[in-house]
Amino acid sequence: MKKFVLSLLAATSLISLNAFADKQFVGADKFYDLIQEYKEVCGVAECVKPYREMSIYQDGVRSIFLSEVQFKKLNQIAHKQSYIWMDTVLQGDLHSDGQTVLEEVVAIFRSNTLVAYKIDYSEKAWYVGACKWDGENESTLRGCPEGKIHESSFVSPDFKTFIRNTDDIAKFYN
């Protein structure tokens, strides 16, 4: 009985850890406030001072302003952020291939200081509510509408804090 209870506690801990993919570190409140200010200034229109944006990775092309080490860290964070989809968007009529792709990285500057990265990531997905997918055999996905699940997050320059972009929560596009 004791082993069963310990196993149950361990499983519950793993599930609850995975339910919150965002990660906050020292200074997370300031980072969150900074992102809110950035979104107000750069939300719909082009950024205005003191903020500016620069695309440093898009569709497989990395600029010289993004090192290989930085790219790998951002790619790992994209994978961590998409992991929550198992408990959210994939609970419905969607199935994904589980291969997270980092689509774009935008460097966000306040004056001349890098203050954040915005990462866009996705996975190939199918809407299985409109087909006869058996839940196991990948070949039965052929008749399902194909698209992708897309989302974005903000990452601190030290990579210790990352938060989901509440204006771009995981959604299926076909």
In sequence order, the 6+-apart residues with CB closer than 8 A to the CB of 156 are: 25, 27, 31, 116, 162
- In sequence order, what are the residues at sequence separation of 6 or more whose Cβ sits closer than 8 angstroms to the Cβ of residue 18? 83, 84, 86, 87
Q: Which two tokens stand for residue 156?
A: 């601190």
Indicate whether 10 belongs to any domain.
no
Confidence of residue 11 (pLDDT cuts 50, 70, 90): very low
| 7 located within any domain | no
**In this structure, is residue 17 part of a structural domain?**
no
pTM of the model: 0.82
Domain count, the chain: 1
Look at residue 109 and give its three-state secondary structure. strand
Q: Is residue 8 part of a domain?
A: no
**Residue 100, domain member (yes or no):** yes
pLDDT, one tens digit per residue, over 26-43 is 668 899 999 999 999 887
**Tens-digit pLDDT profile for residues 123-151:** 998 888 888 888 778 888 888 899 998 99
Answer whether residue 108 is part of any domain: yes
CA-to-CA distance for 93 and 170, rounded, in angstroms? Answer: 14
Query: Quick one: tokens of 150?
Result: 């897309």
pLDDT at 24: 60
Residue 53: give the domain boundaries: 22-173
